[in-house]
């Protein structure tokens, strides 16, 4: 009797997938969910057509495949905006430097003119 308890599982049954190890990852080949027979009638939601579910899965898969592209596009957009901001800052600093240089040259010219008039 104890030997019967340790007998291997019958091999004639096909091996079913589990949640952790599904038979296939392709949503089109996955079996539809079937309500168990031991549940009372009407307790579970009725089976729905799987075409809508497959379409939504395919859409979700396509959207998920496009996520890295969208992230890269947003990253490039941020980098371009940052580079443009840096260029503006560099131009502003150069303009201020030139303005100070022009003001100093103007003061020197004014002093030189004043010195020429006084002598």
Nearest residue to 53 (alpha-carbon basis) of 35, 21, 30, 23: 30
- To the nearest 10°, the Cα dihedral for 99, 102, 107, 113? -150
What is the structure's pLDDT at 2?
52
Find where tokens 């580079």 sit: 83
What is the structure's pLDDT at 65?
84
> Structure tokens of 14?
């096909």
The residues, ordered by sequence, that sit 6+ positions from 23 with a Cβ below 8 Å of its Cβ are 15, 16, 17, 29, 30
Q: What is the pLDDT along the chain (119 residues), one digit of tens a residue?
A: 555 555 555 555 566 667 677 666 666 666 666 655 665 555 555 555 555 666 666 667 777 888 899 999 999 999 999 999 999 999 999 999 999 999 999 999 999 999 999 87
Look at the alpha carbons of 18, 23, 27, 31 in this order and tell me if their dihedral is positive or negative: negative
Nearest residue to 50 (alpha-carbon basis) of 25, 71, 73, 27: 27
């Amino acid at each position: 009797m104890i030997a019967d308890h340790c007998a291997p599982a019958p091999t004639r049954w096909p091996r079913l997938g589990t949640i952790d190890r599904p038979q296939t990852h392709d949503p089109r080949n996955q079996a539809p969910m079937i309500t168990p027979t031991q549940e009372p009638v009407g307790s579970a939601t009725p089976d729905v057509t799987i075409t809508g579910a497959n379409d939504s899965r395919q859409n979700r898969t396509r959207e998920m495949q496009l996520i890295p592209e969208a992230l890269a596009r947003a990253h490039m957009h941020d980098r371009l905006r940052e580079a443009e901001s840096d260029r503006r800052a560099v131009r502003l600093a150069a303009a201020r430097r030139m303005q100070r240089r022009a003001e100093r040259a103007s003061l020197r010219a004014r002093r030189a003119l004043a010195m020429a008039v006084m002598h």
